[in-house]
Structure 1
């Protein structure tokens, strides 16, 4: 019996695979093509696609525990529901699903609303799963680092309410802990939801100030212009995706990514260590990490 990781080649999923391998778990990574990713020693790969039911059935045969992470896609809801449906058919009763914080509140943001639909399936069918709801990834800002350094502007329009930004390494460590907890249990465990957040709220001005301190020169916040944000994205991705992300930023400006009281403390107790801070992440990036 093994732990199947869906989303194994992405930013979070690859770290989950590595973490499980370090713990000595029997891990299988779902990949789209043979040899797609360099996997840790002992980790097996299986070729499959979330749109190909036959490949999912083959991948889930003999699987004990499932990690489901679905990247942003136009048919993300269909892919995720099918994956969980096949898992249920295969008798998998240990699941960890990566959702997003405030999936139930960002009702006009397609990929948030989609993840909430998947959560509703998990709840309505009483699937034995942990739902992880991460906030804004600190690593989102790797892509804008050249703009920050070259132009002295933090361009992500996250507004003034704030996001409990979380390091993807912490997300992966929490996912590994939950996967192992479920995998090693004698039987299926009750459904559980965790907000996965960092230790503090960071708004646009605060993010700019953090980069300014790390770089030793002024960095200003670029403001809340969503139309300009969408236009910049549209040159690098499909129009539907750029619009989806614009809607997400609009909701972040209106509501933030603010966790429930005590969320960070619960995660630190689970990990047995402090959560990584945004200042530490930025300092690492500036130092070339």
Structure 2
């Protein structure tokens, strides 16, 4: 039985591959440029991209289960629907899909709306699926650590409702466990949805306080206005994507991104260990003198 991983060179996908290999699972990956991708021995690499129909058909040959991860892109929805259609064409019935928490609520944010649509397709096409719905990735904060250190400001406009940020390591391990559970089940399993959240729901001020403690000096929260955030993001990504990040931040401020009752307990039971915390991440960014 072979599990196909899309998005295998990204932060989540690569760790999913490693988790599966560590559990002696047959893994195939679809990558644009195999010369730039190094994977553990035994991983089957297929060259291609998700809009390359011939490559997708080759990638799905002999596959039993799909891990579907689509990066944020202008054609993300098309990529997802092609993958799902070719999966069905190839007889693949078992899917783990990396969506996003509150996908059905934050529908003015393009990549949330895309993932909500893909979730509906998975349901209507009758896949046996686990929908993984992660909150904001703690690891994204790498983008702002220099600003925190150099300017004494936590710049992410996440508001006062709170966001339950999750570590990518936790996302990847849950994904691997769900892929193996579905792949190895002798019977078709009922579909399920798992919210992937961190152990703490933190406000902008809470995170500034964590950094103040870790760095030993005062770090201020930059406030809820996303204008500066969008402008800064536009220097490192396309403007359409920076605007999308602004829309997402606005929903953090207005709605927050909190877990539902039982989410944290479910994850800790599934993993058999505590979740990684934001404080863990902040501590790891401080280099001892």
TM-score range, shorter chain: over 0.9
Unaligned runs of 5+ in 2: none
The structural deviation recorded for 1:174 is 0.3
Name 2:81's counterpart in structure 1: 81
SS of residue matched to 2:241: helix
Name 2:172's counterpart in structure 1: 172
CA distance in 2, matches of 1:138, 1:171: 11
Q: Deviations over 1:135-181 (max 9, x none)?
A: 01000101111111111110111111111110000000000110010
CA distance in 2, matches of 1:226, 1:79: 29
Q: Deviations over 1:248-286 (max 9, x none)?
A: 000111111112111010011111111111111111121
The structural deviation recorded for 1:107 is 1.2
Name 1:215's counterpart in structure 2: 215
CA distance in 2, matches of 1:35, 1:55: 17
Following TM superposition, the consecutive aligned residue runs of length 4 or more in structure 1 with deviations greater than 6 angstroms are none
CA distance in 1, matches of 2:30, 2:113: 25
TM-score (norm 1): 0.98
Do residues 60 (structure 1) and 60 (structure 2) align?
A: yes
Q: How does 1:129-168 map to 2 (within 5 A)?
A: 129-168=129-168
SS of residue matched to 1:144: helix
CA distance in 2, matches of 1:34, 1:228: 38
Name 2:279's counterpart in structure 1: 279
Name 1:255's counterpart in structure 2: 255
The structural deviation recorded for 1:36 is 2.2
Instruction: Tell me if structure 2 keeps the 8 A contact 1:126–1:191.
Output: no
Unaligned runs of 5+ in 1: none
Q: How does 1:183-198 map to 2 (within 5 A)?
A: 183-198=183-198
CA distance in 2, matches of 1:63, 1:201: 38
CA distance in 2, matches of 1:36, 1:92: 28
